[in-house]
Amino acid sequence: MLRADIHPDGVAVMRLDQPERRNALSIALRDAISETLEAWAGDDRVRAVTLTAAGSTFCAGFDLKEFAEPDLANTIRDSSHRYHLAVWRFPKPVIAAIDGPALGGGFDLALLCDVRIATTNAVFGHPEIKFGAPPLFTPLQWIVGAGIARELCLTGRRVDAAEAHRIGLVNTVVDAERVEEEAMATARVMLEAPQPALEATKRYLVSSAGVTFDEAFTVEHDRVFDQFLLGEL
């Protein structure tokens, strides 16, 4: 489900490993990501993290089968809250290596990372708007700007790797066989800096926006879930 390894040089690798499910973010997978990052936050062996996925899809988003089970509603919300903040607040650099579609919650996962390296097969989008689920806007607008972010959130259209690079959504586009190597190389360049400097910079990156992620998240995530549970969406 989730494979996690720590290399001797300080780069840890977290791999989504449910290719038969298109690496859908189930409750169990989100909890595994949260637990791993929470443990690595205080682990001196981990200086930076690369995030990748097995198979031809980076991440298809949340596990929609779970949404069909009313008894799981509160668990889904709580697991989702914990997971998003675990990724966003992680105090060390995170580099995403994205091969194939990153859709819905998978798109958000990529956005919450510090650097995104994509293959020519990468595709991004928020199709959940078509099913009545408002997407997260704030992390996307911080990266590509409010105008493009509004259009992508409201239309749900897909963005290929070339456009993603042009609008600044991804930092680099490489061939599929090189994406993980490129992510590791990027992490190792970061590790040329002292760890306290890296972590101080990461704190500034998280806190520098005009509105904090936590404040925006309360509106875009928690309030949306509360309205959904009350049948107001």
Alpha helix locations (H) across the chain?
Answer: 27-41, 64-67, 73-88, 105-111, 138-144, 146-155, 161-166, 179-190, 195-207, 213-217, 223-229
Pick the closest to residue 165 from 138, 143, 190 (CA basis): 143
Ramachandran quadrant class, 161 (left: phi over 0; alpha: psi -120 to 50; beta: rest)? alpha
Three-state SS at 86: helix
Pick the closest to residue 18 from 61, 47, 50 (CA basis): 61
Give the Å distances, CA to CA, from 64 to 19, 21, 22, 70, 93. Answer: 16, 11, 12, 12, 30
CA dihedral over 103, 126, 155, 159, signed as positive or negative: negative
Edge to edge, the sheet with strand 123-125 lists 101-103, 123-125, 159-160
Rounded to whole angstroms, the Cα distance separating 197 from 82 reads 26
> Residues with Cβ < 8 Å from 211, sequence gap 6 or more?
138
Catalytic amino acids?
128
